Amino acid sequence: MTGFTGAELIAAMSSLGAGIAMVAMIGVGIGIGYNAGKTVESTARQPEAQGTLLKLMLIGVALTETAGIFALVISIMLLFANPLMP
C-alpha cells in the first residue's frame, strides 16, 4: 500500500490531466504559425489579393485558437471545478 488517499490520487490525476490538456497549445501555436506563414507567402506571390487573404487568415486563426481555449477551459475545470474532489 502506498499510503495515498483517494482524494490525493484524484488531485494528482487531475493535475496530470490538466497538464496533458495544455500540451494542445503546442499544436495551436504550430497551426497559427503555419497559417500566417502561408498567408505571407501567398501575399508575396499575389499582392492584389491581400485583403481576401487577410480575412481568410483571421478566420483560420480564430478557428485554430478555439482548440487552445477549449483545452484551457478543460484544464481549469480539472484543477478548480472537479466534481470528484471532496
For the chain, how many structural domains are there in total?
1
CATH number of domain containing 41: 1.20.20.10
Q: What is the pLDDT of residue 82?
A: 79
Quickly count: other Cβ atoms within 10 Å of residue 36's Cβ. Answer: 13
Cell match 498567408: residue?
Answer: 39
Does any domain span residue 19?
no
Does any domain span residue 86?
no
* pTM of the predicted model as reported, rounded to 2 decimal places: 0.75
Buried b / exposed e along 66-80 (16+ C-beta atoms within 10 A): eebeebbebbeebee
* Exposure on the CB side of residue 10, measured as CA atoms within 13 A: 12
Task: Say whether 83 sits in a helix, a strand or coil.
Answer: coil
Low-confidence spans in the chain with pLDDT less than 70? 1-2
Q: What is the pLDDT of residue 1?
A: 55
